[in-house]
């Protein structure tokens, strides 16, 4: 399982945001400037925020009910309780930055997420899949996340550097593969990476991302050895999609 393989015992992410407001400073009765923005500045700010297109994605509790739960079967695979709240790779960076969506869509601005790990019981060195469901503000925001992934797939086809927590990894090439015919749109890639333990060997990872309205379903599969295992297991995609489509009712 992906959590078992992690060398680090945990990771902490600190994010700080600071907002600043702009507008004309109006003089008050005491001669000091007022902090209230002018009507022009206020209307400009409002017009810069597009209206939502359709309903928002489910909240965290609802997504958790839609993701595969521990013990769920998918052919020879079985879902397990993850050790972390998200895949360890979610804290990785990429150089150039345009390639980051191939590692994580976190920068796309989701509003909630739910995570599951799926593998072969009793075989931790077999194919391992991280399943990550994410909600967005609306369908347009989720579509923008897929657009950024498509752009990364094109511009990073010749490789990039994945800046990991312990050691950087060189991605040698990114190749589009057949995506499942589900959801509103879907993308799938084969990612070949140089083995950091043996520079003459290559490791294989497969990524499939499906969008359904304001929700993305991401499947990231890999294996410990150099075997090219052919793609995200279809059984896992099917099991997760069936559970999601049965339980998701847009508001």
pLDDT greater than 50 at residue 155: yes
Q: How far apart are alpha carbons 8 and 246 in whole angstroms?
A: 36
Mean pLDDT, the chain, whole residue set: 83
What pLDDT, on a 0 to 100 scale, did the predictor assign at position 50? 60
Structure pTM? 0.79
pLDDT digits over 229-238, tens only?
999 999 999 9
Q: What is the helix (H) or strand (E) element at residue 132, kind and residue range? A: strand 128-135
pLDDT greater than 80 at residue 249: yes
What pLDDT, on a 0 to 100 scale, did the predictor assign at position 86? 83
Of 168 and 88, the structure prediction assigns the larger pLDDT to: 168
The DSSP-derived string for 84-119 is SSS-GGGG-EEESGGGGGGT--GGG--SEEEEEEEE
Of 88 and 108, the structure prediction assigns the larger pLDDT to: 108
**Looking at residue 45, what DSSP letter applies?**
H
């Amino acid at each position: 399982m992906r959590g078992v393989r992690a060398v680090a015992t945990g990771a902490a992410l600190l994010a700080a945001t600071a907002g600043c407001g702009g507008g004309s400073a109006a003089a008050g009765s005491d001669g000091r400037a007022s902090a209230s923005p002018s009507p022009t500045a206020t209307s400009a700010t409002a017009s810069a925020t597009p209206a939502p297109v359709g309903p928002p994605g489910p909240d965290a509790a609802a997504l958790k009910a839609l993701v595969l739960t521990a013990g769920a079967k998918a052919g020879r695979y079985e879902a397990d309780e993850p050790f972390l709240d998200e895949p360890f790779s979610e804290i990785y960076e990429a150089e150039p930055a345009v390639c980051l969506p191939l590692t994580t869509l976190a920068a796309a601005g989701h509003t909630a997420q739910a995570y599951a790990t799926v593998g072969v019981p009793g075989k931790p060195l077999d194919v391992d899949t991280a399943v990550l469901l994410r909600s967005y503000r609306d369908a347009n925001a989720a579509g923008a996340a897929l657009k950024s992934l498509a752009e990364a797939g094109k511009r990073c086809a010749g490789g990039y550097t994945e800046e990991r927590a312990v050691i950087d990894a060189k991605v040698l090439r990114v190749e589009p593969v057949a995506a499942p015919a589900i959801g509103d749109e879907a993308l799938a890639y084969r990612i070949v990476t140089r083995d950091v333990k043996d520079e003459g060997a290559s490791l294989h990872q497969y990524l499939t991302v499906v969008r359904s309205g304001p929700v993305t379903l991401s499947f990231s599969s890999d294996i410990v050895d150099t075997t090219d295992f052919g793609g995200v297991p279809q059984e896992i995609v099917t099991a997760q999609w069936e559970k999601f489509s049965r339980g998701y009712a847009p508001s």
